């Protein structure tokens, strides 16, 4: 694999991590909760799209929209049933609940769809691969659209949070939950909307990821979910641009490690880079230090 091809592959994989990380960083930034079930919502979205496309004969793009809607509703349900009752309790209770929701979704998928891997049909079937630089550079439609989707989503989220009434309410809840409530902001609604947006993004990431790496099983979202959380921390959890930058850097490190060092050590190198960054800058690349009053 040439250097340019490795870079494109790294940006494509990093874009998937970035889209997932945007969901992590939004939920944490608004509600201060770590939704470790987020990776399994990716898997649910991919299965919904797969089943509608391959068994119901539906157009792949329509199935993507239905997968987004399904995961959006799933995110709201998870927040309402699993996390809202724990709001205000210790972070350990939330963490244990998140792990429980994650295993519940994995085992539900196992019972519904079985453990056998499914071959996912690419969303971009029929699109042409781009060959450039006398054939030394190959850009697949999956890579191109994933990178573009990441950029568009990041810009749209930034504008939504900074310009819209709902986005400003989210920022107020993030800044001071109690003060926002006194100002008439519906805190529950803002947090539910955050989970809905994050889960919808998870569906997009799941379909894009499985289009590029077409193997689908109940544990498909587990490792990408962990790596996306790593990307969010890497870039500065709570920062939308940080999630994007962290995801892209993580994807490039992983692909270059696989191509030029060792495919077996690639994951270890990724997490080692995270440790180094956090030792130098504990808040992440774009994270801000928060002083807590006691």
Find which of 63-72, 94-103, 167-176, 213-222 is predicted with most confidence, using mean pLDDT.
Answer: 63-72
Q: Name the token pair of 31.
A: 């509600």
Please give the average per-residue pLDDT across 156-162, as a whole number.
90
Residue 139's H or E segment, with its range, is strand 137-139
Please give the average per-residue pLDDT across 266-292, as a whole number.
79
Indicate left, alpha or beta for 233 from its phi (over 0: left) and psi (-120 to 50: alpha): alpha
Rounded percentage of the chain residues whose pLDDT exceeds 90: 37
pLDDT of residue 289: 60
Each domain of the chain, given as residue ranges in start order, spans 16-221
Residues 6+ apart with CB under 8 A from 82: 37, 97, 98, 100, 101
Please name the residue ranges forming H helices in the chain: 3-31, 38-54, 60-78, 91-113, 141-163, 165-175, 177-182, 187-212, 222-235, 240-260, 266-280
Find which of 84-88, 104-108, 163-167, 269-273 is predicted with most confidence, using mean pLDDT.
Answer: 104-108
Assess contact for 49 and 206: CB atoms under 8 A: yes
Beta-bridged to residue 216, according to DSSP, are 118
The 10 Å Cβ neighbour count of residue 275 is 9
Q: What is the pLDDT of residues 181-219, one digit of tens each?
A: 888 888 889 889 999 999 999 999 999 999 998 889 999
């Amino acid at each position: 694999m040439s250097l340019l091809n490795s870079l494109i592959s790294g940006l494509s994989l990093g874009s998937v991590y970035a889209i997932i990380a945007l969901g992590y960083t939004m939920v944490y930034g608004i509600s201060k909760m770590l939704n470790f079930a987020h990776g399994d919502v990716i898997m649910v979205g991919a299965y919904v799209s797969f089943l509608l496309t391959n068994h119901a004969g539906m157009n792949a793009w329509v199935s993507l929209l239905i997968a987004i809607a399904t995961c959006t509703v799933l995110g709201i349900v998870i927040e309402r049933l699993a996390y809202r009752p724990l709001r205000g309790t210790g972070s350990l209770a939330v963490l244990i609940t998140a792990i429980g929701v994650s295993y519940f979704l994995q085992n539900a998928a196992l019972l519904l769809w079985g453990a056998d891997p499914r071959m996912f049909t690419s969303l971009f079937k029929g699109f042409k691969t781009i060959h450039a630089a006398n054939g030394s550079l190959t850009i697949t439609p999956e890579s191109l659209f994933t990178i573009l989707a990441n950029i568009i989503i990041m810009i749209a989220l930034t504008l939504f949070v900074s310009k819209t009434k709902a986005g400003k309410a989210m920022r107020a809840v993030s800044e001071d939950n109690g003060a926002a409530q006194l100002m008439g902001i519906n805190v529950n609604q803002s947090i539910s909307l955050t989970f809905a947006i994050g889960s919808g993004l998870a569906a997009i990431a799941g379909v894009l990821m499985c289009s590029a790496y077409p193997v689908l099983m109940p544990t498909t979202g587990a490792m990408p979910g962990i790596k996306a959380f790593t990307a969010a921390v890497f870039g500065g959890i709570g920062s939308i641009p940080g999630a994007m930058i962290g995801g892209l850097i993580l994807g490039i490190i992983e692909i270059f490690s696989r191509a030029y060092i060792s495919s077996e050590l690639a994951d270890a190198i990724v997490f080692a880079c995270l440790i180094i960054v956090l030792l130098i800058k504990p808040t992440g690349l774009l994270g801000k230090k928060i002083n807590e009053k006691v």
